[in-house]
Structures are given as structure tokens and as C-alpha cells.
Structure 1
Amino acid sequence: MKILVIGSGGREHALCWKIAQSKMVEKIYCAPGNGGTREIAENIDIQVNEIDKLLDFAINNKIDLTVVGPEDPLVNGIVDIFQENGLMIFGPNKLCAKLEGSKEFSKVFMEKYNIPTAKYQSFINYEDAVKALDDFTYPLVIKADGLCLGKGVIICNTKEEAINALKEILVDRIFGGEGEKVVIEEYLDGIEASLLCFVTEGKIIPLESAKDYKKIYENDLGPNTGGVGCISPNPIFTNELSSIIKEDVLDKISYGLTQEKMDFKGILFIGFMIADGKPKVLEFNVRFGDPETQVLIPRLKSDIVELFLKVIDGSIDKRDINWSKDSCITVVLTSNGYPKEYKKDFNIDIKNLDNSIILFHNGTKYKSGKLLTNGGRVLSVTNAGKDLQSAREAVYDNIGNIQFEGLCYRKDIGLI
């Protein structure tokens, strides 16, 4: 098979790495890819939202299966377009992708099918939104309705901050069309957790659990990021909690998708807040997480291409998915200044890493034969071991063998 992977981050490198292990695969392309994917796939200079160019490439190169990494092309309907042209593609269609593409859409879905979540109101008018602030206590959360490159969520501790956030989104249009509508939401306190699931034909099959570290600084301080570390499994996912999640969340999502005639085929990523052992859903994503993929993929023993095909044809069963008992950890090396402003194009020097280390590239590129930084998140240093402590020690022991100007990382991933 010829496989096309769409995306350029650590998630896509991890997917390419796992796809390359399949006996079914003859050739992998990655569009646009990065400095790591080029070692196992042919990078194609097409950006993720250039859907017409991606379609032409897939047709002209007789691609057997396309795997979509990021959310933007899914929300923009790439699955529908590929399917209309007789191409096989892994990911949910445009309607189902609205569960991530519109925060209001997902909240309405959750409310309609009694899926536990924070109370909310949505608005398109600035004055109406300001008046509604009196219905909430502080802190509260204000979300632009659309994707906003993952930056459309603002936690407000005072009414003044909330009014300012509403003005920026609805009046100043800092997120453009993605902020034509806002959702005001009660703030949930507790422990964040996430779960990725294969979804097809109304079936929801959870993958192994993971714990993501979103704050940039140690002890979970500082601004949120796309994720600067991750471990799997997540110790909070006890059998009791998993049972509650199945009954209170997964079964209701399955019922709702069936009732709404939403033919979801792909990955559903569910973000939770766990308080007093009870889960509430923070958000839905409709694709693999990053950096969750970097710790789940090394633990997956099954052929991932076979799993993709079984999701697409609806035949997948929980027994098809086999996991190692290893613990896995990834620590993300970032550019100084991330998640705010940072510089790129610094040389990356990688000395001899232990054979047990898997180095997934997030934001790298090759130029004139040199590996350079090309993003806020640069590399995911990953290891799977018999327990979390040994895997963690191996990762931190090897980080010193990687150097680039402005290299930063958290030293407490896996400790808290």
C-alpha cells in the first residue's frame, strides 16, 4: 500500500514511524512533514489546508490510504472530498468534525444527550454576552467558537478580564471568523485527563490512557501550551473511573452519534476534568492528540494500518487492539519563549542517543544539509520501559545529548 500522512508535527512523525512497521506498506508520503519524517517517508511540499493539491497528489500517485493528522483539514471537509473522489481516508467527515470545529455545536450535543459538562451560554452579540456574565461566578472560561489554532480559550478571574476577553473576540475580532460566536462556560476545577477512542459504526473503543502536561513551567505553572510532556498509562484511570466514563460518557456519545446520523469514523479525543471521581467533558477533538500519540504509539503492538482499515470498514473490535504493558514517557524540548514569541532556524546537534530512545520531531526542518529548529515544540524525547521510573530516567539521561540554542524543557514530567 501507498500511504499519505497529512501534517508536520510530532504526532505525524509518530504515525509515520508506526505505519512504517506494517508489512502492508510499500511507500509512505508525508505532507508537508518535518526533519524526522523525511527519514521514513518522502516529504511532499503541500500544506495541510491545500486540499485540492492533496487530492491531486493522492490521485496522481495512486495513494491507497490517507491518514489525516491535524484538525483543520478535517473541519474543512477533506474526508468528504476524498471520498467523493473514490479515495480511502482515515478521519471523520465534515459534519462529525464540527464536534471540534465548533465549541457551541459540541456543547449542544453534550447537553442534548446528557453528557456531563460545564454549564454554558453562547453569544454572537457583545452586549448580550456582557450582560450574561452576571449568571456566572469567577473564575469562568470564555471560548471563541472556532479552532483559533488552539488559542481561543481564555480563563477569566474577574469581570473586568471577562469583559476584555469578550471585547477582544467579538468586537476586535482577534480570531477573525473563528470568533464570530463565543461560549461562556463555568470553570471546572479538578484533574485534567484525556482519552482517545476509535469510533466507527456507533462503536467507541477506548485506547490506552495518557496524561498530558500542558503548562510550560514545572509544577504546572505558567501559560498553557500544546503539551510539553506526556505519560502512558495515566494513573488516574482506575477500573472504577473507566467504568463510570463508559456509562456516563462513551455510551451516551455513541447513542447521540447514532441518533444524529453522524457517521463518525476515526479518532475521538475526549478531554475530561475529573473531580471527586466524577468526569465532566471539557472538549472533543476529532484526531490523534499531540503529544499523546507519542506515548501511545510505542505501546501499540497491533498493526496500525490494519486498525485504520478496520475502522473505515466498521469491523474493528476491542480484541484487535493489543498493548504492551510498558510505561511510556515523552518530554518535549521547546524553543525559548514558547508558547509566546520564539526564534527559529537554530542548528540542532544530536549526539549518540541510547538505542531505547525514540526521537519524534515536532518542529524541525532540513536546510542545506543541516537540521534546524522550525517551531515552538521542537523534539519529543520518548522512551518505553518496564516501569515509568526507568523510562523517565532514560529520557532525562539522554536529553543532554541534544543541543540547540534556546533549548527548554520541564524537568518534572512523570513526577506529578
Structure 2
Amino acid sequence: MKILVIGSGGREHALTWKLKQSQKVEEVFVAPGNAGTEEIANNIAIDDTDINKLIEFAQEEEIALTFVGPEAPLVEGIVDRFKAEGLSVFGPNQDAAQLEGSKVFSKNLMKKYDIPTAKYETFTQADAAIAYIKEEGAPIVVKAEGLAAGKGVIVAETTAEAVEAVETIMVNEKFGEAGTRIVVEEFLTGEEATVLAFTDGETIVPLISSQDHKPAYDNDEGPNTGGMGAYAPAPIVDDEMLSQVKEEILEPTLDGLKQEGIEYKGLIYCGLMIEDGVPKVLEYNVRFGDPEAEAVLPLLETDLVEIAEAVNNNQLDKIDIQWSDKTSVCVIMASGGYPIDYETGEEITGIEKAEADEDTIVFQAGTAKENDKIVTAGGRVLGVTAVGDGYEDTISKAYEGVERIEFADAHYRTDIGDKALDKN
């Protein structure tokens, strides 16, 4: 069969890499893709939100199954459009995608159906939000309602920072329409983890857990990013905790959506804060996380195409999803200055050296080909992923890979996986 992957990041490179392993797959196309996907698949020069052209391409090439990587086309209703044309696609429909597209929708759903999350209020006026912040005090969290590429959440340590966040989002309109409404919520303490789950609308099956590292610098300092690295599985989510997350969060979320008349099919992402054995939802996403996908997918042993077909055919209960017992660590190499100001067009060398170790794979994200050279083309450039026996071994392999790669002003965190080591 022919597969289409939509998107251009490290997540899409990881999806393409995993799908290529399926015996069912003859050819993979990626729209628009990057320099990494170009090496293992066919890049198509169609933007990931150009739904009309994507439909035309899928029809012309007789694409058997489409995977939607990023959130924007899902929120714009790409799944509904593809299905209306009789095209098979993996991902939630537009109504279900509100879970990520609108933080107000998701918070209200959690409140209505008693899904554990932080106390919150929503605002459409900056003055009212600022008054609430001054009353509540800091630390406090300010979130743009809509999509902001993972950067619309500001954790304010002081009241002044929170007020500045409101002004940045609502007055200065840094995130455009995504910031016309905001959520101001309680600052939760504990340890973060991510639990992804496949669902066909009836059955929901958690994947192995992972832990993202959103702040730009070591020790979780600096501005939030799209993610500076991840590892899997996360020790804080043991079997008991995973069952608890399924029973107290995943299943009630699916049931709540059903009661709202919304069918959810695809993959659901729960960003969690866990403290004293109690998990609370920080956020939902409606697709694979990035960089979580680069850490989780290398440990998946079951054919991803078979899982997607089971989801789309309401047969998820009939498939036994298997995982490696190894660990994985993904370290993001970013352009210097990311996530604020950074240069692109810098030549990248050493990827082949890093991948000389059979346990290491470099997932490309913000890359492009120029004159037969791979150059930087975004903020997050590469995801260097290693698979190994235990966290210490795997962390060492991942950073060995990082050290073999060079580009001007490369920036990466040096503590990815340290929290897992602390628990061993």
C-alpha cells in the first residue's frame, strides 16, 4: 500500500521511519517533509495545511492510508475532509480536535466530567485576567487558548511575570487569534510525564509512558519550547500509575466526549503532572507529541499500520500491542537562540557518524537540502535518539551521537534523562 505522512518535523520523520518497517507498505510520501524524510521516502511540496491539494494528491496516487502529524490540519478538519472523499486517514475529526485546539473547551470538559486538573478561570479581557492574577498570586500559569506551537503556555514565577504574559498574549497579540481568550490556572507541582493512547472510540489502549523536557535550558530553566528532548518509559509512570491514568483520565475523557456527541478515533496525548501518586492533566494533544514520538516509536514492536487499521475499523480490542523492554532517549539539537531568535541555513555535518552506532538514529526536524548539503531550517533541528539497556547506557549513547554532529551555534540540554537516573 501507499502511505501519506503529513508534516515536516522530527515526529513525521519518526512516523515515516516506523511506517517503512511495515511489510504492508510499498511506498511512503511525506508532505512537505524535510531533508531526513527525503532520504527514506518521497517528499511532496505541499504545505501541511493545504487540505485541497493534499486530497488531490491522495486521490491521484491512490493513497491507502494517511497519517496526520501536526495539530494545525487536524484542528482545521482535515480528517473530516479526507473521509468525505472516501480517503482513509488516521487522526481525530474536527470536533474531537477541539481537545487541543481550544484550551477553554478542554478545561471545561475536564471540569464537567470530574477529570483531575488544575483550578482555572478563562478570560477574554486583559484587565479581568490581571485582576484575577493579582488576587491569586504567583506562581501561576497563563495559557493562550489556541494553537501556539507549544509556546503559548507561560509559567510565571511572579505576579509581574504573569501580568506581562497576559499583555504579551492579549494586548501585543503575540500568538494572533490563538490569544483572544486565555486560561489562567493554578501552578501544579510534582513531576511531569506524558501518556499517549490509541483509541477507536470504544477501546482505549495506553502506549508506554515518556517524559518531555519543555524548558530551553538545563534544570528546567528558561522559556518553554516545543520540547528539548524526551525519554521512554518514564519511571514515575509504573504499571499501577498507568492503570490509574487509564481509569481516572483516559476513559473518563473518552466517555465525556461521547456524552458531548463527539467520537474520538486516533491518538490522544495526555500531558500529566504527578504528585504523591496523584496524576492531573496539564494539557491534551490530539496527535503524537514531538519529541515524545521520537522516543516512543523506536520501542514499538507492533506494526503501526496494523494499529491504525484496527483503530479505523473499530477493532482495537482485537490487537495485542507489543513493546520492547529497552529504554530510549531523544536529545533535541536546536539552533542557537531558540525559541526566540535564531539563524538558519547552517551546514550540518556528522549525522552519518552518529548513526554509525546501530542503536542510534537521528530524526531530522528543521532541516533542508541545499546544494547536496543538509542545512538548518528551523528552531529544533535534530532529534538524536538512542535505544539501550537501562537509562545510564541509553543516555550515554544518545549524547555520544550528539557529540558527533556539528552545526554553528548548536544548542542542546545536557540533562535529558537525569530524572530517570535519579529514580534507579
TM-score tier, shorter chain, comes to over 0.9
The CA deviation string for residues 310-358 of structure 1, in whole angstroms up to 9 with x for no partner, is 1111101375211111111111111111111111111111253222211
Deviations 1:168-222 (A, max 9, x none): 3333322221111111111111111110000112322100111112222222222
The amino acid of 2:37's aligned partner reads T
Matching residue of 1:292: 292
Q: Distance in 2 between matches of 1:133 and 1:336?
A: 33
AA matched with 1:366: K
Q: Deviations over 1:378-403 (max 9, x none)?
A: 11111111222222222222322211
In the alignment, which of 395, 412, 415 is matched to residue 412 of structure 1? 415
Asked if structure 1 preserves the Cα contact closer than 8 Å seen for 2:106 and 2:284, the reply is: yes
The whole-number CA distance in structure 2 between the counterparts of 1:281 and 1:318 is 29
Is the 2:154–2:224 Cα contact (8 Å) retained in structure 1? no
Aligned residue identity for 1:386:
D
Contact 1:69 1:287 in 2 (8 A): yes
* Residue type of the alignment partner of 2:307: L
For 2:20 and 2:303, the matched residues in 1 are separated by: 10
Secondary structure at the counterpart of residue 49 of structure 2: coil
Task: Tell me the distance in 2 between the aligned counterparts of 1:161 and 1:220.
Answer: 17
Which amino acid is 2:205 matched to? I
Query: Residues 308 and 385 (structure 1 numbering): CA distance in 2 closer, same or farther, change over 3 Å?
Result: same
Change (3 A) 1:60 1:12: same
Partner of 1:265: 265
Q: How does 1:175-194 map to 2 (within 5 A)?
A: 175-194=175-194
Residue 217 in structure 1 maps to residue 220 in structure 2: no
Do 2:75 and 2:97's aligned partners in 1 also have CA atoms closer than 8 Å?
Answer: yes
CA pair 337-41 structure 1, distance change in 2 beyond 3 A: same
Question: 1-side partners of 2:332 and 2:127: how far apart?
Answer: 42
One-letter amino acid of the structure 2 residue matched with residue 381 of structure 1: V
Question: Aligned residue for 1:394?
Answer: 397
Does 1:307 pair with 2:319?
Answer: no
Provide the rounded CA distance (Å) in 2 between the counterparts of 1:322 and 1:210. Answer: 16
Give the conservation status (yes or no) of the 8 Å contact 1:205–1:318: no
What code does the residue aligned with 1:136 have?
A: E
Gaps of 5+ in 1: none
Contact 1:4/1:63 (<8 A) preserved: yes
Alpha carbons of structure 1 residues 207 and 318: separation in structure 2 relative to 1, 3 Å: farther
Determine if contact 1:202/1:257 at 8 Å carries over to the other structure: no
1:306 is aligned with what amino acid? E
CA deviation vs aligned residue, 1:342-377 (integer Å, no higher than 9, x gap): 111111112532222111111111111111111111
Alignment deviations for residues 298-320 of structure 1 (CA, whole Å, 9 cap, x no partner)? 11111101111111111013752
Root-mean-square deviation over aligned CA pairs:
1.5
Provide the residue aligned with 1:48 in structure 2.
48
In 2: Cα distance, 1:311 partner to 1:116 partner: 26
Q: Is the 8 A contact 2:199 2:316 kept in 1?
A: no
Aligned: 1:338 with 2:341: no
Structure 1 residue 247, shift from structure 2 partner: 2.4
Please list every run of 5 or more consecutive structure 2 residues that lacks an aligned counterpart in the other structure: 420-424
CA contact (8 A) 1:191 1:275 kept: yes
| Alpha-carbon displacement from aligned partner over 1:153-176 (angstroms, at most 9, x marks no partner) | 122333333333323333332222
- How many Å separate the matches in 2 of 1:319 and 1:26? 22
Corresponding position of 2:2:
2
- Confirm or deny that 1:378 pairs with 2:351: no
Question: 2: CA distance between counterparts of 1:164 and 1:337?
Answer: 21
- Letter paired with 2:362: L
Q: CA deviation at 1:293?
A: 0.7
Indicate if the aligned counterparts of 1:307 and 1:320 stay in contact, CA closer than 8 A. no
Contact 2:10 2:294 in 1 (8 A): yes
> Does the C-alpha gap of structure 1 residues 258 and 372 become closer, same or farther in structure 2, counting only changes over 3 Å?
same
Contact 1:137–1:186 (Cα < 8 Å) also in 2: no
Please, which moves more after superposition, 240-249 or 72-81?
Answer: 240-249
Paired amino acid for 1:391:
T
Q: TM (normalized to structure 1)?
A: 0.96
Distance 1:216 1:166, change over 3 A: closer
Amino acid at match of 1:66: T
Identity %: 48
Cα distance change of structure 1 residues 218 and 128 upon mapping to structure 2, 3 Å threshold: closer
Whole-angstrom distance in 2 between the partners of 1:318 and 1:189: 38
Tell me, yes or no, if the aligned pair for 2:388 and 2:394 is still in contact at 8 Å.
Answer: yes
CA distance in structure 2 between the partners assigned to 1:158 and 1:372 by the alignment = 39
**Alpha-carbon distance in structure 2 between the residues aligned to 1:167 and 1:395:** 40
Which secondary structure does the structure 2 equivalent of 1:54 belong to? helix
Aligned length: 416
